[in-house]
């Protein structure tokens, strides 16, 4: 089920909160075209694994993508090449930012941020400036042709931006968020969704049908492995990838 929340009529990027030095991609959800061994997409988000990072198998093309699970105005993106000779597998890769998941949606806005050169040294860093004028949710790195893609580490810098004027949430019954950032009461699930939309940093919310004077609306901005728990009285609503 989709819950649509309509707030206002204009789509724009409004800076609400500045986060200095924090990698807004850390802890988020990453995926890639294929995975070689244990080097899954999430490894590129954790600097602990920067010597090897994430690694794909041969694919046409090879790509890596992170869902920021929220909307941001991106200032710059830094790619760090891996060690142990794997650095060559980041050559010629290019970076793009998108408002929607290109694998699920048709009407995707895309902004090209930059291209890694043909020569890459071990541990070398490449920083690209993104000038997108729309709110960003996805960052994708692509290496064209039949080749491998290895990213030692990726750092995404940006600030929270307003969401597009319409937000869609998918519903899951019998679940509620386990780490609410705000607990309040509303008369309907839609009203709870509007609060989530207006908070900008909110990515998921839970609602239960009960008296509006009781706490029945939970908002969260946290992305953690166990972000929800079973609870038959609640329904959990997650921000959809294709808006």
Q: Residue 149: what pLDDT?
A: 96
Q: Residue 35: what pLDDT?
A: 95
Residues 6+ apart with CB under 8 A from 153: 44, 45, 46, 47, 49, 50, 53, 79, 80
Which domains, and CATH codes, for the chain? 2-7+165-239 (3.50.4.10), 29-160 (2.60.120.260)
Q: Residue 198: what pLDDT?
A: 80
Could you list the pLDDT tens digit for every one of the 243 residues in the chain? 344 343 333 333 333 333 346 899 998 989 999 999 999 999 999 999 999 999 999 878 899 999 998 889 999 999 999 998 899 999 999 999 999 888 777 788 999 999 999 999 999 999 999 989 999 999 999 998 878 999 999 999 999 887 776 677 888 999 999 889 899 999 889 899 888 888 767 888 999 988 667 899 999 887 666 678 899 999 999 877 665
Tell me how many degrees the CA angle 112-117-121 measures, rounded to the nearest 5.
Answer: 130
Closest CA to 176 of 232, 241, 239: 232
CA distance 240 to 232: 22
Within 10 Å of residue 103's Cβ, how many Cβ atoms? 13
Q: List, for residues 148-184, the tens digit of each pLDDT value.
A: 999 999 999 999 887 776 677 888 999 999 889 899 9
Q: List, for residues 79-108, the tens digit of each pLDDT value.
A: 999 998 899 999 999 999 999 888 777 788
Task: Quickly list H helices, 97-146.
Answer: none
Residues 6+ apart with CB under 8 A from 83: 51, 52, 122, 123, 152
Read off the tokens for 143. Answer: 């290496």
- Residue 10: HSE in the Cβ half-sphere, 13 Å Cα cutoff: 3
């Amino acid at each position: 089920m989709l819950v649509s929340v309509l707030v206002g009529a204009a789509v724009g990027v409004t800076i609400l909160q500045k986060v200095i030095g924090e990698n807004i991609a850390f802890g988020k959800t990453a995926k890639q075209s294929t995975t070689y061994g244990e080097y899954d997409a999430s490894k590129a988000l954790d600097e602990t694994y920067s010597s090897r990072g994430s690694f794909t198998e041969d694919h046409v093309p090879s790509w890596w993508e992170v869902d920021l699970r929220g909307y941001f105005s991106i200032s710059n993106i830094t790619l760090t090449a891996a060690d142990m000779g794997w650095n060559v597998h980041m050559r010629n890769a290019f970076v793009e930012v998108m408002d929607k998941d290109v694998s699920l949606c048709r009407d995707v806005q895309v902004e090209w941020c930059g291209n890694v050169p043909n020569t890459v040294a071990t541990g070398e860093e490449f920083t690209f400036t993104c000038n997108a004028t729309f709110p960003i949710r996805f960052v994708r790195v692509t290496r064209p042709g039949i080749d491998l893609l290895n990213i030692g580490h990726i750092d995404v810098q940006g600030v929270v931006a307003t969401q597009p004027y319409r937000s869609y949430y998918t519903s899951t019954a019998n679940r509620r968020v386990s780490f609410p950032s705000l607990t309040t009461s509303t008369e309907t699930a839609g009203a709870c969704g509007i609060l989530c939309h207006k908070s900008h940093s909110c990515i998921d919310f839970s609602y239960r049908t009960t008296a509006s004077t009781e706490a029945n609306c939970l908002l969260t901005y946290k992305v953690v492995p166990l972000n929800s728990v079973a609870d038959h009285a609640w329904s959990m609503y997650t921000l959809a990838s294709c808006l």
